[in-house]
Structure 1
Amino acid sequence: PRALGVIVGGAFTTWAAFIALVAGVLAGGGAIEFTTFLAWVVVAVFGALALLFGWWTIGIARLAYEIDDDALRIRWCGREVVIPVVDIQRVVPGRTVGEETVSGLNWWGCHIGRGMAASLGPTLFFATHNRPEDNVFVVTPGRTYGLTVPDQVAFAEACSRRLIVGFEPGEPQRVEPQGLALLPLWGDQDVWFALSFVLVALGALGGFLFSQYPDLPALVQIDFPRATGIVRVDHPSALLRIGAVGGGIVAVNLGLGFLLHARERAAGLWLLVSAGLIQAVLLGAAVVAFERA
């Protein structure tokens, strides 16, 4: 039943990638002006959306439930939700639950996130149903899980067979990250704050360069430090190197910062923040350079 979710997610991914591609073509062939900068912003935003929807679509395609003698495991987007079998109190078919609402990823064939089931209360959905009747609800002491299982009878029997044995209370329900999800940066709010600061600073630098460039004369005067007494006359595009330097610094610092964060959090954060601070310095340098040009 997940085919519809994959198709819709793939359509969203393609749509976002297409807009990013069109904007990239327009920006690449456009003049150096503020509207071109906005086109590059569209490329960045919709490119990120394409990656995000692509990741979610892969997650839908690979969504899996596995039950053994110890636990029910739900695999979703690099994470595994582990529900000890001893915690399962009952399995309820979706046709008996009533109205369902989901807040999170919620489109045709994809229902992932927190929600409500009318007769069961707060529920975590990892479902790909097309109709509410396609779902089965696993009720535990702490929470309820909504899953889309093709053979609900077999699933309920698998749970009940393991409950008959009678287990002693074991480990709690938990989420275990896997693969890239193991990196601690995903849960570090300071990383996302620093990244936002870097992107805003880089955007401010780029926006200034693109907005001021059309007003420059055909030739500009570039002053080196006054102590040298050197003055160079060049094409206005020479001033755009400030933006190129800023972009290069961001790329290097972000790469090194993400790599270092797992081993040395403080060093990783400093690299991220310093990238933003350097953008601010370059913005100041750009303002001075454009005024003197």
Structure 2
Amino acid sequence: MTSNVCSRGKRRGARHATMRHWKPRSAHGRWMALGLLILALGGVTLAVVDLIRRLSGSPETWQIDIGALGWLLLLIGSLLAALWSAHRLMSALTLTYDIDRNGLYIRWAGNQVIIPLDRIITIDVGAGPVFLPFGPFQRVGTYWGRAFTGEAPLYLYATQPPGECLIIYTADAAYALSPEDPDAFVQDLEQRRSLGATKVLQPSLEHSRVFHYAFWRDRTVLALVLAAMMINLLAFGLVAVAYPSLAPLVEMRFDATGELAELRPRHQTLFLPLAAFGLSLLNTTAGLALYRSLPLGARLLQGASVIVQLLFLVAVVQILW
């Protein structure tokens, strides 16, 4: 009898020592992300088709004007929207909650939040009233980001509204979760807490290396990338506005004394912002590869992109006016 009891106890301990996976409740957030992705890809398709039409034929017949700039802006906006929607859809499809004796692990799209079980103070149902700073966008795919309740920060990792979620409270923050079977999830979590931890964990947020979160979350890097992009778009815009009134041949090169050295076809004015864009893209790619080992070097590369864009912008202004 004693041996049977001991064996059952060992099996129970082994079962709780292993990690258990919990899926979130199914919700309409993933369909919102899919719908936005389809709309964004539609915008990309329309913009590409029109730009190809405008640039078909010989360079002398290219239709470059303010309308072309509008389609270019639509292409860029649609691409960004498609990438964001695809990421939100991936987050919804990969969101899981895992529990072992040491911690609760929230995983999505290669990211992971670790909540040590010994840091959990209490578990409640529902939080409110909750303010979502990004409004409806924080419901796409899953409820994501940070919400404000007037108390501890509330971090959203759920497919349901915060008022319908399990709220995990620690001393520093609160976490909104929506497992498929909330009662069984809480029971499993409490049983593992009662067993005691076998390993000391620290609360942490581990970002996926695939999406280079650290690079894009660096405010200096982000500001420089956006500045380079805006200057480049300004150069494209100036060319688009002036292009219809340009002569077939424009002054493209000057010698050391500032005198005219050569006339070039007007379509070559497009190559200046294109070349600047290519250099910025190269610097951004290099910065992504460099950031983990040398953040300062990555920031300097983005700063160099801004300087290059400014130089090309000055060249465009000199040529057009």
> For 2:280 and 2:265, how far apart are their aligned partners in 1?
25
- Structure (1 or 2) with the greater strand fraction: 1
> For 1:10 and 1:167, how far apart are their aligned partners in 2?
40
- Give the letter for the 2:29 counterpart: G
**Residue number in structure 2 paired with 1:70:** 102
- Give the letter for the 1:29 counterpart: R
**Residue number in structure 1 paired with 2:46:** 22
Decide whether aligned partners of structure 1 residues 279 and 228 sit closer, same or farther in structure 2, where only a CA change above 3 A counts. closer
Identity %: 21
Confirm whether residue 154 of structure 1 aligns to residue 178 of structure 2.
Answer: no
Q: Is the 8 A contact 2:239 2:270 kept in 1?
A: yes
**Residue number in structure 2 paired with 1:165:** 195
> For 1:286 and 1:175, how far apart are their aligned partners in 2?
45
> For 1:253 and 1:143, how far apart are their aligned partners in 2?
38
**What secondary structure is seen at the aligned counterpart in 1 of 2:64?**
coil
> For 2:207 and 2:226, how far apart are their aligned partners in 1?
24
* Unaligned runs of at least 5 residues, structure 1: none
Cα RMSD after superposing both structures: 2.9
Q: How does 1:109-258 map to 2 (within 5 A)?
A: 110-115=142-147, 122-129=153-160, 132-133=163-164, 135-167=165-197, 170-180=200-210, 184-225=214-255, 231-258=261-288
> For 1:99 and 1:229, how far apart are their aligned partners in 2?
69
Deviation at 1:148, TM superposition (A): 0.9
Decide whether aligned partners of structure 1 residues 41 and 224 sit closer, same or farther in structure 2, where only a CA change above 3 A counts. same
Q: Is the 8 A contact 1:254 1:272 kept in 2?
A: yes
TM-score (norm 2): 0.79
- Give the letter for the 1:53 counterpart: S
- Give the letter for the 1:56 counterpart: R
Deviation at 1:65, TM superposition (A): 0.1
Decide whether aligned partners of structure 1 residues 223 and 127 sit closer, same or farther in structure 2, where only a CA change above 3 A counts. closer
Q: Is the 8 A contact 2:251 2:263 kept in 1?
A: yes
Deviation at 1:81, TM superposition (A): 1.0
Q: Is the 8 A contact 2:111 2:207 kept in 1?
A: yes
- Give the letter for the 2:93 counterpart: A
TM-score (norm 1): 0.85
Count of matched residue positions in the alignment of Structure 1 and Structure 2: 287
Q: Is the 8 A contact 2:33 2:86 kept in 1?
A: yes
After TM superposition, the structure 1 stretch with the greater mean CA deviation from structure 2, 192-201 or 23-32, is 23-32
**What secondary structure is seen at the aligned counterpart in 2 of 1:184?**
helix
Decide whether aligned partners of structure 1 residues 178 and 253 sit closer, same or farther in structure 2, where only a CA change above 3 A counts. closer
**What secondary structure is seen at the aligned counterpart in 2 of 1:157?**
helix
Q: Is the 8 A contact 1:115 1:124 kept in 2?
A: yes
- Give the letter for the 1:281 counterpart: L
* Unaligned runs of at least 5 residues, structure 2: 1-24, 55-62
Deviation at 1:15, TM superposition (A): 0.9
Confirm whether residue 286 of structure 1 aligns to residue 316 of structure 2.
Answer: yes
Deviation at 1:152, TM superposition (A): 1.6
Decide whether aligned partners of structure 1 residues 236 and 79 sit closer, same or farther in structure 2, where only a CA change above 3 A counts. same
Decide whether aligned partners of structure 1 residues 108 and 289 sit closer, same or farther in structure 2, where only a CA change above 3 A counts. closer
After TM superposition, the structure 1 stretch with the greater mean CA deviation from structure 2, 48-57 or 83-92, is 83-92
**What secondary structure is seen at the aligned counterpart in 2 of 1:281?**
helix
